[in-house]
Amino acid sequence: MEECNVNKAIHRRYKQTFVVFVTLVVCLFGTASNAGAFGKGAKGPDVYAVQGMLKSLGYFTGMITGYYGSETEAGVKRFQQRYGLPVTGAVDDKTLESILYAYANAKIIKRPPSPKQPSPSPSPSPKPPESGVRAEEGQMIEHVNTARKAAGLQPLAADSKLSEVARLKSKDMIDHDYFSHQSPTYGSPFEMMQKFHITYSTAGENIACNQSVEAAHEALMNSPGHRENLMNASFTRIGIGIVDGGPCGKMFTQLFIGK
C-alpha cells in the first residue's frame, strides 16, 4: 500500500565530497496512479507524506500535522505554479507524480571534515537498546538478499550493530514526529554512524513507512532509487531497524555499508 522515502547516499573515503542522492518517497500511495485527488479539509497519512515532501522541497513552511489546511493548500499551489501545473491547490494524480519526481531528484551536497582534523566530539546519545537482529528485520534482509541473488549480486551480511543504529533512527522518527534522513537528534546518517563508531568506505540509508515487511520491501524494490541502493554492488553489510508506530504503522530504516 505504501512506501515512504529513501535516500541513497555514497561517501567515498578517498574523496573530499559527500554526495547524498535523495530518492523516491511514496508514502501510503503505492503508485501515483492509484492515489485519489485530495485537498483542503483532508487529513491522514497521505497528507502527512505530502507535507513532508513539500517541506523538504521548500514549498511548505507549516507544521507536518497530516491535516490539509490553508498552509498546505498554499504550498501545493506554489509547487503547481513552479512546475507548470494547473494551480488548484489540490493534490491530483499529476501533482503527486510531480512532487514525487521533484523529491526523487533533490540532491544534497556536503563536505566531510578534513581527515587531518580531529573528529568532532560526539553529542550525547542513548546507548543502543539491544543487540542482534529481530525477526521482522531478519525477514527483510532475506527479501533483500533473495533479490540480490536473482540479480547476480553477492548477498549483504547482516550487521547487528548497524541494526541497533537503524532501530534508533526509526524510533527517533516516531518519537520526534518527522520523516527525514536528517535527524534532529543524530544529524545525517553518516554523522549518526560516526557517533556509534561504525566505519565504512561507502554507506547509504533508506527510510520507509509501511504496514508490513512484505509491503515495504515490494514498494522499495518498485522504486528505481530505492532499488538502486538495495542492488548497489559496493555495499557488503546491511542493518535494518523496524519499530512499530508512525503514520503508516511501522517505521523502517535500512543502513548499508561497504568496507
Closest by CA to 139, choosing from 250, 10, 234, 8, is 250
Question: Could you tell me how many residues make up the chain?
Answer: 259
Q: How far apart are the first and last CA of the chain?
A: 35
**Pairwise CA distance, residues 43 & 108, whole Å:** 30
What stretch of H or E contains 195?
helix 189-195
For residue 132, what pLDDT is reported?
Answer: 65
Assigned C-alpha cell, 146? 533473495
Q: How many C-beta atoms surround the C-beta of residue 83 within 10 A?
A: 14
Residue 234 has pLDDT above 50, yes or no: yes
- Predicted confidence (pLDDT) per residue in 94-153, tens digit: 898 888 877 766 533 333 444 444 444 444 444 444 446 789 999 999 999 999 999 999
What would you measure as the largest C-alpha separation in the chain, in angstroms?
54
Grid cell listed for 257: 555499508
User: Would you say 30 and 219 are in contact if contact means Cβ atoms under 8 Å apart?
Assistant: yes
Cell of 116: 587531518
User: pLDDT of 168-189, one tens digit each?
Assistant: 999 999 999 988 889 999 999 9
More confident residue, 17 or 91: 91
Q: Model-level pTM?
A: 0.55
Q: What is the pLDDT of residue 58?
A: 80
By the 8 A CB rule, do 120 and 187 touch? no
Which residues have a Cβ under 8 Å from the Cβ of 118 and sit 6 or more positions away? Answer: none
Q: How far apart are CA 95 and CA 43, in angstroms?
A: 17
DSSP letter at 119 equals P
What is the C-alpha separation between 134 and 241, in angstroms, rounded? 8
Residues of 49-78 as b/e, b for ≥16 C-beta within 10 angstroms?
Answer: bbbbbbbbbebbeeebebbbbeebbebbbb
